[in-house]
Amino acid sequence: MGCKIITLNLPRDLTEEELKVLFEPHGEILSCDLVLDKETGVSKGFGFVEMGLESEAKIAIKTLHETRLKKKKIRVKLARED
C-alpha cells in the first residue's frame, strides 16, 4: 500500500496525465485521480496522487507545496485516511 497525497487549488483545465507528470520525478505513482463534478465533468480543482513510498510522498510534498502551476499556487499535503 502506498502513501496518498491530496493536491488542492489545481487549475480547472489540468488533466490527470498532467498531474501524474508533475509527480513522476519524485517517485513511483500508484494512482492519480482528479475529482470531477458529477454533472458537468469539470474538475473541482483538487485531486489525489498515491505514491509507492511514504519517503517519496514526503519529498513530493516538500518540493511541490505552494509552487505555481498554470498561474495557480497549489497546495500539496498528505491525505487523511478516514
pLDDT at 82: 61
CATH of the domain at 33: 3.30.70.330
In this predicted model, what pLDDT tens digit does every residue of 23-71 receive, in sequence order? 999 999 999 999 999 999 999 999 999 999 999 999 999 999 999 999 9
Show the domain range for 14.
Answer: 3-78
pLDDT-derived band at 78, boundaries 50, 70, 90: very high
pLDDT-derived band at 2, boundaries 50, 70, 90: confident
pLDDT at 76: 98
Query: Which pairs with CB-CB distance under 8 Å and at least 24 residues apart come from 65-71?
Result: 69/10, 69/11, 69/14, 69/22, 70/11, 70/13, 70/14, 71/11
Whether 27 and 64 have beta carbons less than 8 Å apart is answered as no
Q: How many structural domains compose the chain?
A: 1
pLDDT at 80: 86
